[in-house]
Amino acid sequence: MSSGSRVALLRQLPSVDELLNRPRLTALTREAGHGLVVEAARGVLDELRADIAQRGEAAAIDAATLEARIAGEIARLLQPSLRPVINATGVILHTNLGRAPLAPAAVEHLRATVTQYSNLEYDVAAGQRGKRDAHTARLLARVLGAEAAIVVNNNAAAVCLVLNTLAIGGEVIVSRGELIEIGDGFRIPDIMSESGAALREVGTTNRTALADYERAIGERSRLLLRVHPSNFRIVGFTNRVGLEELVELGRRSRLPVFEDLGSGCLADLSPYGFDEPLASASLRAGASLVSFSGDKLLGGPQAGIIAGKRELVERCRRNPMFRALRVDKLTIAVLEATLLACLRGAFDEIPALRMIRLSADEVGRRAEALVAKLRSALPAGEVELEIIDGQSVIGGGSTPEQSLPTRLIAISSLHYSAAQLEERLRTLPLASQSAPDRGASTEPPTSPPVIARIEEGRLLLDLRTVLPEQESQIAAALVSALR
């Protein structure tokens, strides 16, 4: 193409001002700000100029098309990145999907306390400065049967703080069978070296005896550490020293015993087939300190809880590192409300715990209702829907080899493979959401992406992890994905 026609094409491009005067973009400057619209218009025009310069041609360049394109870009830009998804995987504490969904009452307490000023660090009765720990310390002590408790950002921070406080410059004795990696870079040996404590490994990967700990105790010993193996199990020829024995050894050798519980179970899950140790049981058995996550089996916000002997908790609290690891008012509000539900024994108010406690029959009944709805909405003969037995898991590094019996919806379609269906459920809402004709609307899309799994060529949905109020959304998503 000649340079003459390039020049002609470039001349046809509307100006930024011309575009800004189009009704939709004028409206957008009021909603999204003049600067943002000008920038998007310039960006689109620059791309077209580059296309014309390189290839001598460009896609449609009339003002109406460009107006829609610019509006689409702004809509995409203004869409929040963090958004709801529907978890139909049956993994309750799904690390990639935000671990524990929060209790509505906890979020209500959050809204009520953080959209205005609060007594976060103010003692209203005394009219003077208070401590932010006060809001959760009393509750934690009560539900855990602990002398004292503090809260930091997450359990990794809690472990770091305890090791740094109690063992800096000295040795921490831990079994080789417990030198675990949780995922995303949390490795016990690394945390140890960051905290300034030296690791003293005892025993072997599969077997550690009390005598192994005993032999390792020396002048530099500061702490006996026990770590919940979380996401793995050693089976076969094994031995792990019980907490009581370790506590007894600690007493004899005047060393505190710290147990990193990982999930930190407050509700007894044994009726549901899980032998997760209760945090309160560890303290009753004599652990000097325990730590666990707020967003695993407690079902609350991301947090790390340290509880146990008052003198040791106080030492952790006075460590300057505590200030750097402290939680904000958002966490405190949600944690306080979650702990209040625990105190009342209202575990069904905590979504993650309610999901664990759902029976396979209850999940099955919901699956049947959804399947009936889908059958009436979809053309007969094109989709096969079946309800089958399956397993849900707790996830989040808890109880790796245990699972919960559940009922799954198995879907196969004449038109789409399982992989295609899985992708459609995940991405269709995103595609419709970024369609240019949604304008710059910042309203949430009607249906969140649905995350499902595939087994033996079939798409499987587990409603255990789907909130009841998401059922109409999942039905709508399935109808549009299967069409």
Ligand X SMILES: *Cc1c(COP(=O)(O)O)cnc(C)c1O
Interface with ligand X (CB under 6 A): 154-156, 159, 182, 186, 227-228, 230, 260, 262-263, 293, 304, 397
User: Residue 237 CB, nearest distance to ligand X (Å)?
Assistant: 23
Q: Residue 54, exposed/middle/buried by CB under 10 A (0-12, 13-18, 19+)?
A: exposed
User: Residue 26 CB, nearest distance to ligand X (Å)?
Assistant: 48
What phi-psi label fits residue 99: left (phi over 0), alpha (psi between -120 and 50 degrees) or beta? Answer: left
Query: Considering beta carbons, is residue 182 or 249 the nearer one to ligand X?
Result: 182
* Angstrom distance (rounded) from CA 49 to CA 38: 16
The residue with its CB nearest to ligand X is: 262
Query: Considering beta carbons, is residue 292 or 416 the nearer one to ligand X?
Result: 292
> 290 and 258 in contact (C-beta within 8 Å)?
yes
Query: Considering beta carbons, is residue 6 or 326 the nearer one to ligand X?
Result: 326
| Angle at the Cα of 79 from the Cα atoms of 75 and 81, rounded to 5 degrees | 150
Residue 234 tokens, joined = 């050693």
* Angstrom distance (rounded) from CA 279 to CA 269: 12
Question: Taking the CA of residue 45 as centre, how many other CA atoms within 13 Å lie in the half-sphere pointing to its CB?
Answer: 19
Q: CB under 8 Å to 156, separation ≥6 — which residues?
A: 182, 186, 191, 304
Query: Considering beta carbons, is residue 304 or 351 the nearer one to ligand X?
Result: 304
Query: Considering beta carbons, is residue 71 or 93 the nearer one to ligand X?
Result: 93
Query: Considering beta carbons, is residue 171 or 260 the nearer one to ligand X?
Result: 260
- List b or e across 147-176, with b for residues whose CB sees 16 or more CB atoms inside 10 angstroms: ebbbbbbbbbbbbbbbbbbbbeebbbbbbe
Query: Considering beta carbons, is residue 304 or 448 the nearer one to ligand X?
Result: 304
User: Residue 181 CB, nearest distance to ligand X (Å)?
Assistant: 10
User: Nearest Cα to 454, choosing from 479, 424, 475, 429?
Assistant: 424
User: Residue 240 CB, nearest distance to ligand X (Å)?
Assistant: 14
3-state secondary structure (DSSP) of residue 446 = coil
User: Residue 106 CB, nearest distance to ligand X (Å)?
Assistant: 17
User: Residue 323 CB, nearest distance to ligand X (Å)?
Assistant: 18
Residue 232 tokens, joined = 């793995």
